[in-house]
Structures are given as structure tokens and as C-alpha cells.
Structure 1
Amino acid sequence: MRILVKILLSIAVVIIGVIIQAVISESGNDSTGLIRLLPGAIIIFGIIGVWKYLPKKDTDNRNLDKNV
């Protein structure tokens, strides 16, 4: 299940990056190269963030569930 969620989040990050690139291209702002690098950075760091994220083990909630 976690792999499926990570794949879906990766696809969402790529779609967001492509949409931002399309908006930048349509605005016609060719003079600033840094703005053109932004969608690529969003895609790269977004995918790295999705795959490197590890949820914390929450033992307090598990202990509370056992007591109920």
C-alpha cells in the first residue's frame, strides 16, 4: 500500500512540475534562467522527498490502543 501511495505522489509531483513549466513558458519570461530551473527542482526534490520520507513509529498511540 505504501509503495502505491508513493508512486501516486510521485506522479502528482511530476504533474505539478509540468504545469508550473507550462505556466512559465506561456508567460514568455525568457530572460531569467533561474525561474526556468524551478519546475525541475520541484520535480527532483519532490520525488526525493516522497521516497525518502519515513513515518515515525508512534508507540504512544499503540500503547493507548492496547489499554482500551
Structure 2
Amino acid sequence: MDSQKSSQKSSQKILELIQENSKITTQEMADLLEISRRAVAKQIAQLQARGCIRRVGPDKGGHWELVE
């Protein structure tokens, strides 16, 4: 599987995880997806850049929102 496809798959899974639990941490996502926390952070940055998700509140105690 090429990295483009696997990163799209990871993005989709991250969106699903956020939908299930808006307070999920990048570390929890990394553990569940079995990828590095850095890889999760990269995916999240891309999702935010595309306007799919946004962070509400601080890193500790904030939550994610899916943008329709």
C-alpha cells in the first residue's frame, strides 16, 4: 500500500475517532491506530488545513470538532 493511501485511511480513522470521542488525545489516537504520535499530529495538521476539524480550547482540556 502506498503512503498516500495509508495516510488517507489514517485521516478517515482519525475523523471517526474524533466523532466517537471529541476529547481523544493524539497519543490515544496513535495507540489505537498503531502509528506514531508524530504521524497523527501530521494527519491532524492536514485535516485542520483542509478545514475538516478544529481544536476548541487548550491542548489539555479542550476538544475536537468536526467541521461540516
Q: TM above 0.5, one fold?
A: no
RCO higher in structure (CA 8 A, sep ≥6): 1
| More helix as a share of residues | 1
Q: What is the TM-score with the length of structure 2 in the denominator?
A: 0.32
| More strand as a share of residues | 2
Q: What is the TM-score with the length of structure 1 in the denominator?
A: 0.32
